[in-house]
Amino acid sequence: ELKVEQNPLFLSMQEGKNYTIYCNYSTTSDRLYWYRQDPGKSLESLFVLLSNGAVKQEGRLMASLDTKARLSTLHITAAVHDLSATYFCAVDGGTSYGKLTFGQGTILTVHP
Amino acid sequence: NAGVTQTPKFRILKIGQSMTLQCTQDMNHNYMYWYRQDPGMGLKLIYYSVGAGITDKGEVPNGYNVSRSTTEDFPLRLELAAPSQTSVYFCASSKGRTGELFFGEGSRLTVL
């Protein structure tokens, strides 16, 4: 059974600081996704990582995938308040696209 | 462009009642999914479909049924509602090529 674990689960940051969220998974996969969820809202796709060594960047967020280590990271650079949200990683471990196993989510709060 | 549309957004059910959550997408995606999200948790896959007439169980299918008579629609049926089905339900679709999911706004269900 595929397990996906994120850490930390709660992250309180000051504006301007850098930090990394980690996503570990238990079985072989080369398809990993990051989503953002604002309170009471739906999930918004941030990054799609489809191969070992994949790196994607959008604004202050950068995601990477190491399939050999079964690890993805979401790096936050110079955090701003607007980044406050819950971030989920999700791994596709099956043969059908979209059968994702989600991590528990990391609740990020950015303080002034 | 509406994307994935879910109805209703909110519903309160009594124990033992039944209801159908509606989901429709206008992106001509073959793959569709139902996930549930319990408070403070990631999403768990209930059922999925890879095309009209084809459905299969996900991780937590008990107490639910689905059908897929058209590419656009993927309703989720709850029979004999139980308090354990209190959750937020998300419908999603994907093209299948990358597996990236596009989510609806969610349906918040409470069973009392």
The pLDDT of residue A99 is 84
Question: For residue A71, which of A17, A12, A23 has the smallest C-alpha distance?
Answer: A23
The pLDDT of A43-58, averaged and rounded, is 93
Q: What is the mean pLDDT of chain A?
A: 93
Which pLDDT value is given to residue A82? Answer: 95
b (16+ CB within 10 A) / e for A26-44: eeebebbbbbbbeeeebbe
Region A88-103: what's the mean pLDDT? 83
Report the largest interatomic distance among the alpha carbons of chain B, rounded to a whole angstrom. Answer: 41
Which stretches of chain B drop beneath a pLDDT of 50?
A: none
Distance from CA of B96 to the nearest CA of A (A): 5
Question: pLDDT class for A27, splitting at 50, 70, 90?
Answer: confident
Q: Are B23 and B74 in contact (CB under 8 A)?
A: yes
pLDDT value at A48 more than 90: yes
Would you call A50 and B98 a contact, using CB atoms and an 8 Å cutoff? yes
First to last CA, chain A: 41
Q: Mind telling me how many Å the CA of A48 is from chain B's nearest CA?
A: 7
Predicted pLDDT at B1: 67
**A101 three-class SS:** strand
Task: Check CB contact of A80 with chain B, cutoff 8 Å.
Answer: no
CA distance B28 to B4: 11
Of A42, A48, A50, the CB nearest to B106: A42
Specify burial of residue B29 (Cβ count, 10 A radius: 0-12, 13-18, 19+): buried
Q: Is the pLDDT of residue A94 over 80?
A: no
| Preferred mutation among A42, A46, A56, A89 to probe B, highest tally of B CBs within 10 A | A42
The predicted structure's pLDDT at residue A96: 63
**C-alpha to C-alpha distances, B36 to A6, B33, B47, B69, nearest whole angstrom:** 19, 10, 10, 22
Cα B67 from Cα B69, distance rounded (Å) = 6
- Name the residue facing B101 among A45, A50, A105 (closest C-beta): A45
Judged by a CB distance cut-off of 8 A, whether residue A90 touches chain B is yes
Per-residue pLDDT reduced to its tens digit, A52-66: 889 999 999 999 999
